[in-house]
Amino acid sequence: MIGICAAVYAVVGRLTDLGITFVGVAFWPAVVIPAVFAVLYGPWVGGVGAAMGIFVRDMLFHGDPLLSLTAGVTSNFAMFFILGYVSRRSLGWKKLVLSGALAGVVMAAGLLLPTLLLPAEFAGFTGLSTWEIVAIFVLTVFVSLSAILIVSGRWSEWRSFGVGSVIGQGIGAAIVAVGVWGYSQLFYSATGYFKAPVQGSFVPIIFVWTFATEIPFVLLVGPPLIKACYRAFPSLRLREKTRERDG
């Protein structure tokens, strides 16, 4: 299943690669593929399959193995291992609140603090005032956490999935942002993928771009695909129920 996850992820990723990037980070609808595998087959399948799949895709896209290993492979493994692990845990409301608070702290650190500390860079890049940017980021955090609470209240079966998605995506986005920045400091050249080092002020913006362009696909497309897999292969659902019953 790791091999299948990697192959499907690489193929779908390449086919849906629209060429929309920011500082080398692509707009990435294919993120939902390893999310589904992580839920159906566990964190190791999701994490390792995603790491292998993104490496293949990167070789077809930019052909730089070191860049892929630095930012793509590490972030994808962490993201989907965490998603798969948390989604297979039974979260009561107490654990849900604690997990939501942790997700809020991760996103606030990545979204709000850099905006306040680097207002000139953000304003120059976006054309928006500091307070407009803060309002947008606060809204992003609020909507993400509200989505978790709404899903948890109305569809309790997706409670753990929603929490795992936000935490995994937040940590994965942070690895991407720092990895891209660090790689560009050491391996820029006139003929390389990065012509100049990426400014440190772009790290939080890369974080925002990665998180905001991927989490909607996981939260909105993931559950319907997982349900379809359960209907097509009832044994997957039976195995999941057995695991939950046995603890």
In the numeric block, which tokens belong to residue 108?
């606030």
Which H or E run includes 26? strand 25-26
pLDDT, tens digit, 9 for 90 and up, residues 40-96: 999 999 999 999 999 999 898 878 899 899 999 999 999 999 999 988 877 665 555
Does residue 9 have a pLDDT over 90? yes
Burial bucket for residue 130 (CB in 10 Å: 0-12, 13-18, 19+): middle
Q: pLDDT at position 41, please? A: 93
Q: Do 132 and 181 contact (CB within 8 A), yes or no?
A: no
pLDDT tens per residue, range 60-75: 887 889 989 999 999 9
Q: pLDDT (tens digit, 9 = 90+) per residue, 160-171?
A: 888 888 888 888
What separation in angstroms does the CA of 168 have from each of 129, 138, 247? 30, 19, 23
DSSP 54-97: HHHHHHHHT--HHHIIIIIIHHHHHHHHHHHHHHTS---HHHHH
Q: What is the pLDDT of residue 39?
A: 93
**How are beta strands 21-22 and 25-26 bridged, if at all?**
antiparallel
In the chain, where the domains are located = 2-245
| pLDDT tens digit sequence for 184-242 | 888 877 666 777 787 776 777 788 778 877 887 888 888 889 999 999 988 887 566 55
Strand partners, 14: none
